[in-house]
Amino acid sequence: MKPSAYRTACQVLEQADETSIAYRLLGSVSEAEDAVQEAWRRFRSYPIEPTSTKAFLSVAVSRIAIDILRSVRVRREQ
């Protein structure tokens, strides 16, 4: 397997893990996918490479999902 193919396969597996985390928090597949995409965007723009990609993405997805839940709650209260 070529390095780029291996990297892509790893990314897909990590993305599946992150999507399941976001889905458990948000309860919506589309919102979970949006949260994962935002986490990957942040990962790619991070100035230094994190020690653990999986840990970075897990924390980022969790925080993004919590932010989404907070914004939904604020919109409902208004």
Position 64 scores a pLDDT of 96
- The answer to whether the beta carbons of residues 74 and 37 sit under 8 Å apart is no
- The answer to whether the beta carbons of residues 76 and 33 sit under 8 Å apart is no
Contacts of 64 (CB under 8 A, 6+ apart): 22, 35, 38, 39
Position 16 scores a pLDDT of 82
Percent of the chain with pLDDT strictly greater than 70: 77
Whole-Å CA distances, 3 to 23, 38, 75, 78? 30, 25, 45, 50
Report pLDDT digits (tens) over 21-49: 999 999 999 999 999 989 888 888 888 87
Tell me the pLDDT band of 53, cut-offs 50, 70 and 90.
confident
The pTM of this model reads 0.78
